[in-house]
């Protein structure tokens, strides 16, 4: 049975030919075109688990090529990020006119909404973390600057994050329930930290425009619970006009209000599956993150996640 994003069942698929592996890949990730020069000798294994929209897979296989084509994107255009961590062998990732050669310990990110190619010329093992783009706080266009960029696992933050992800891949049986959800979101927090460093957003010498946006996003995160959080208070806190603030977010393809609502909904979603908060009413969780109108919160949550808050909590 293919693993879904809402259960935490660990599934293992053993593919003894390229057709079986292609089907397993499509079930585990997004529609992909998989080919091999030695299809008669092809072997592959995918072990995966998913919870709270985060899917982690441990993939081992012989030589093959994976392609995400415009035609396949048109069939399923749900925007996800995928982070690959090479565990053995070598892989070549191509996206957005960039190429990254990945060796054991190296990380790289790619976006399923745009074409990419992964080439493995020998037996390999890799870990893949796939998640909707809205689960991290960085705008998609910023992360887009890092697609197919090698992040070394032997130095810097890569040396901190790679071992954690390796342990997740080796212990997928722990990836269940509220503990699994925390492990998954801890992984995303670490990955976001790496992206932030790679983009230079935490550097005092960074581009002032980027630095301002980083301060604004951090301010929003710290004040999500405040019902007074809005364009006026944010602009005042950063000594800029509301017009300038709106222009900053418009340049990133969103609005201030949309960004605040998305971040609040994400925090509510996490709290709704936290067993520590199981006795807390849905309305109280909503109010904790700045939703003063319970009915408005319920509508916004259902629009974002296709399920009501109460149904979401019951399902988990």
Q: List per-residue pLDDT tens for the chain, 316 residues long.
A: 333 334 457 889 999 999 999 999 988 899 999 999 888 899 999 998 888 788 999 999 999 999 999 999 998 777 899 999 999 999 999 999 999 999 999 999 999 999 999 999 999 999 999 999 988 888 888 899 999 999 998 888 899 999 999 998 888 888 777 778 888 888 999 999 999 888 877 664 456 777 788 889 889 989 998 988 999 999 999 989 999 999 999 888 889 999 999 999 989 998 898 878 888 999 999 999 999 888 999 999 999 888 999 998 888 7
Which strands make up the sheet holding 64-68, listed edge to edge? 33-35, 64-68, 116-120, 91-95, 98-102
> Residue 52 has which token pair?
């709270």
Instruction: Work out whether strand 54-61 and strand 91-95 pair parallel, antiparallel, or are unpaired.
Output: unpaired
The pLDDT value recorded for residue 7 is: 45
| Separation of alpha carbons 223 and 238, rounded Å | 14
Please list, residue by residue across 149-188, b when 16 or more beta carbons sit within 10 angstroms of its beta carbon and e when fewer do: bbbebeeebbeebbeebbebbeebeebbebebbebbbebb
The pLDDT value recorded for residue 202 is: 66
Quickly tell me which residue has 């807390």 as its tokens.
Answer: 280
The pLDDT value recorded for residue 99 is: 94
Quickly tell me which residue has 């960074």 as its tokens.
Answer: 206
| Separation of alpha carbons 291 and 294, rounded Å | 7
Q: What is the pTM of this model?
A: 0.70
All residues at 6 or more sequence positions from 121 whose CB lies less than 8 Å from its CB, including other chains: 63, 90, 92
Give Cα separations from 261 to 230, 231, 265, 309 (angstroms). 10, 12, 6, 15
């Amino acid at each position: 049975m293919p693993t879904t994003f809402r259960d935490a069942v660990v599934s293992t698929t053993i593919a003894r030919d390229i057709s079986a592996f292609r089907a397993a890949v499509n079930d585990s990730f997004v529609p992909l075109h998989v080919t091999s020069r030695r299809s008669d000798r092809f072997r592959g294994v995918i072990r995966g688990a998913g919870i709270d929209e985060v899917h982690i897979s441990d993939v081992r296989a012989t030589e093959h090529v994976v392609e995400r084509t415009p035609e396949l994107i048109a069939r399923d255009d749900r925007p996800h990020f995928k982070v690959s961590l090479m565990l053995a062998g070598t892989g070549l990732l191509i996206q957005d006119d960039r190429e990254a050669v990945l060796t054991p310990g190296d990380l790289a990110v790619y976006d399923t909404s745009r074409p990419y190619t992964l080439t493995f010329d020998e037996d390999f093992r890799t870990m893949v973390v796939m998640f909707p783009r809205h689960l991290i706080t960085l705008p998609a266009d910023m992360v887009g600057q890092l697609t197919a960029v090698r992040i070394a696992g032997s130095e810097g933050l890569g040396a901190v994050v790679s071992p954690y992800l390796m342990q997740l891949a080796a212990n997928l049986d722990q990836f269940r329930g509220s503990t699994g959800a925390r492990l998954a979101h801890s992984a995303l927090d670490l990955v976001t930290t790496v992206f932030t460093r790679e983009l230079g957003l935490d550097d005092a010498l960074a581009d002032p425009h980027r630095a301002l946006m980083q301060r604004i996003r951090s301010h929003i995160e710290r004040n999500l619970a405040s019902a007074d959080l809005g364009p006026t208070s944010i602009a005042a806190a950063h000594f800029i006009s509301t017009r300038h603030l709106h222009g900053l977010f418009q340049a990133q393809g969103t609005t201030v209000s949309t960004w605040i609502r998305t971040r609040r909904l994400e925090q509510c979603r996490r709290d709704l599956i936290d067993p520590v908060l199981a006795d807390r009413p849905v309305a109280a969780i909503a109010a904790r993150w700045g939703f003063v109108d319970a009915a408005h919160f319920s509508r916004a949550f259902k629009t974002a996640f296709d399920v009501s808050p109460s149904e979401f909590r019951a399902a988990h």
